[in-house]
Chains A and B, each alone.
Chain A
Amino acid sequence: MNFVASSSGPLEWNYIAANFGYLASVVMFMLAIMRMGRVKTARSGNFLAAAAMLLAVVSSFVEMGKINPAFIVAGLIIGGAVGAIMAKRVQMTQMPEMVALLNGFGGLASTLVGLATFYSLLGGGTLSMMMGREGGWFGAINLVLTLIVGSVTFTGSVIAFLKLSEKMSGRPILLPMRHVLNVLLLVIPLAMGVAAVWFVSNPILVGLILIGIVLITFILGVTIVIPIGGGDMPVVISLLNSYSGIAAALAGFTIGEAVLVVSGSLVGASGMILTQIMCKAMNRSLANVMFGGFGAEPAAGGGGGGEYVGVKAADAETAAMIMQDAQSIVIVPGYGMAVAQAQHAVREMAKILEDKGASIRYAVHPVAGRMPGHMNVLLAEANVPYEQLFEMDQINDDFRNVDVVLVIGANDTVNPSAKTDKTSPLFGMPVMNVEEAKTVFTMKRSLGGGFAQVKNTLFECPNNYMVYGDARKTLEEIIKALKEG
């Protein structure tokens, strides 16, 4: 429903037709997002959402009537081509940075819509109506919020993209006085927004102020995300995902269009839910993730540091021999599996073991990897049936009945000290009880700390054996040994 059009001018047939189109697309978006929440209906849900988007775009053309669409078509062609190429080329291991980049584009698009709407109002004399004092305060506040949320989403996502693609260090970068800086970078644009309403009679000045707001909040996006380390990226991506939706909803307020408000809110809500799930899985508050500078330096003293004592190592052949005779095997993947691109080797090994009569399950921690569901997507790519994937809560009480646990590139999520050591920075985080299994093999390149830079007491457990090396190479050696054995 376009509330701007409804408040001025007579109702035309195309306006009415378009609004029925919008209404239908809103219903379709709702149904689509419902279907996307179940594995069996997910793909059709995505298709329905795409159809809803197409219907909304067609309805918009109908509503605009006789116009010159040259610039719209140009944008559609350029964007469509770039989007299609990106979607075809991206590797599954690159999904986190792809999602980050798309979040950023969404945010920037909403910022540009805000600015463009402002400029289009300049000519028509409607600026004072929108930003003036006759009830236009809300419009002004909303425009400023659109710019702020859109811009923060954009640069924040670009930084997340750079960190995830390792074009920039994944370690937290802590600026001096960063909390004060962040507050200033938020308060100044808000104050400038108020000033913009004050100077409404001078559109050039208002335009400059709005551009200033965008530039300052570009910096804010950077300063918010650089202190956050790679391991906390699942939270950051979820949050930016939510912001990109909120920016779209705010843009909907700016142009007075309900479809944007509804769809944007759906995205905002889904991003918020994922953010909550991720924080809960780490037993940390959102504020701690965002502002805590977690993982910046090795945890000193307490249960954090210290040398490893009595760590046992095994080679690939030994691991193969023991797994060969195991009845029940659980594979616990982590970010290291993604880095080594080991998912196909994992699947190949699992297949051989299954043929030898073993039961294979995969235990996935909610924050394993760099975004929500990262491990699940990689294992799906390697043709692991989703019935074999288990959530931590489903499998955690069953580790004691397991013969062999194979930890592949996971660290903090299998650290028993999170359950026992009150001085550990990880204390309270739900972890997998892998040490309860009869035998644990931990594939890792070295004894180096994980993201949290905390000593992992699993490595000292009497039933744990380290298998050092690149996960994929080690797995290939195990496969070779299994085939020969």
Chain B
Amino acid sequence: MDTGAILMLLYVFVLACFAGYQLISKVPPTLHTPLMSGANAISGITILGAMLAARIGPGAPFNASTILGMLAVALATINVVGGFMVTDRMMGMFKSKN
């Protein structure tokens, strides 16, 4: 990876942190728990890196990386599926009087 690409990602990182901070501040306490479990599911995005590692194809022979990748895919999927489902369960419980 060349330095330019890395610097570009650094810009993306800083801007995204800033955007995230603006988007999420002032969340009501009622939503703190589901926000957390939902955010947790989103952090399962690391699954994309895991998939790259677990694939077998041109330039990616079967080796230790494949197995590590598969484990990472499984863990990240637990996060994604478990996180989104449990968040939905919680948010379904929040009811208004009406």
Q: How far is the CA of A84 from the CA of B57 in the complex (A)?
A: 30
- Interface stretch of the complex, out of A59-67, A182-190, A417-425: A59-67
Return the CB mask of A424-456 against B: 1 if under 8 Å, else 0.
000000000000000000000000000000000
Instruction: Tell me the minimal C-beta distance from B90 to chain A in angstroms.
Output: 6
Interface size on A, residues (CB 8 A): 124
Is chain B's binding surface mostly helix, strand, loop or mixed? helix
Q: Contacts A124-B59, A385-B96: A6 and B45 contacting too (C-beta < 8 A)?
A: no
Partner of A261, one of B12, B24, B61, B73: B12
Binding-face segment, A96-104, A158-166, A215-223, A324-332? A96-104
Residues on B with C-beta less than 8 A from A38 are 28, 31
Least CB separation from A74: chain B residue: B70
Residue of A nearest to B48 (CB): A60
- Closest residue on chain B to residue A383 by CB atoms: B95
Question: Which of chain A's residues have a CB closer than 8 A to the CB of B59?
Answer: 124
In angstroms, Cα B92 to Cα A110, docked, is 30
Partner of B65, one of A45, A119, A273: A119
Of B17, B36, B93, the residue contacting A274 (CB under 8 A) is B36
CB of B49 within 8 A of CB of A53, answer no
Whether B79 pairs with A83 at a CB distance below 8 angstroms is: yes
Q: Is the CB of A106 within 8 A of B49?
A: no
Nearest chain B CB to A45 CB, angstrom units: 8
Partner of A248, one of B21, B34, B45, B83: B45
Please tell me if the beta carbons of B64 and A119 are within 8 angstroms of each other in the complex.
yes
| Residue on B nearest A88 in the bound complex, by CB | B85
The answer on a CB contact under 8 Å between B43 and A106 is yes
Question: For residue A269, which residues in chain B have a CB less than 8 angstroms away from its CB?
Answer: 16-17, 19-21, 23-24
B32 vs chain A, min Cβ distance (A): 3
Bound complex: CA A256 to CA B94 (Å): 39
**B75 smallest CB distance to A (angstroms):** 4
Q: Contacts A56-B45, A106-B43, A117-B49 known; A7 to B2 CB distance under 8 Å?
A: yes
Distance between Cα atoms of A50 and B24 in the complex (Å): 18
CB atoms of B91 and A43 under 8 A apart: yes
Are A371 and B36 closer than 8 Å at their CB atoms?
Answer: yes
Q: Across the interface, do B43 and A258 meet the contact criterion of CB distance under 8 Å? A: no
Indicate with 1 or 0, residue by residue over A232-273, a CB within 8 angstroms of chain B CB atoms: 000001100100110111011111111111111111111111
Whether B34 contacts A75 by the Cβ 8 Å rule is no
Judged by a CB distance under 8 angstroms, whether A199 is at the interface is no
Residues 129 to 146 of chain A near chain B (Cβ within 8 Å): 129-130, 135-136, 138-139, 142
Chain B residue nearest to A373 (CB atoms) is: B32
In whole angstroms, how far apart are the Cα atoms of A238 and B5 in the complex?
Answer: 31
Smallest CB-CB separation from A110: which chain B residue?
Answer: B46
Contact with A along B14-56 (1 / 0, CB 8 A): 0011011101111111111111111111111111111111111
Most central of B6, B17, B50, B61 by chain A CB within 10 Å: B50
A113 at the interface (CB under 8 A from B): yes
* Contact, CB under 8 Å: A95 / B81: no
Q: Known contacts A74-B70, A257-B48: does B27 contact A102 (CB below 8 Å)? A: no
Is B81 in contact with A67, judged by CB distance below 8 angstroms? no
Q: Which of A28-36, A299-307, A461-469 contacts B (4 or more CB under 8 A)?
A: A28-36
Give the 3 A-B CB pairs with smallest separation, nearest first: A79-B77, A75-B73, A373-B32
Binding site for A on B (CB under 8 A): 1-3, 5-6, 8-9, 12-13, 16-17, 19-21, 23-61, 63-97
Q: Which residues of A contact B (CB under 8 A)?
A: 3-4, 6-7, 29-30, 32-34, 36-39, 42-43, 45-47, 49-50, 53, 56-57, 60-61, 64-72, 74-76, 78-80, 82-84, 86-88, 90, 92, 95, 98-99, 102-103, 105-106, 108-110, 112-113, 115-117, 119-120, 123-124, 129-130, 135-136, 138-139, 142, 237-238, 241, 244-245, 247-249, 251-274, 277, 364, 366, 371-374, 376-377, 380-381, 383, 385-389, 391
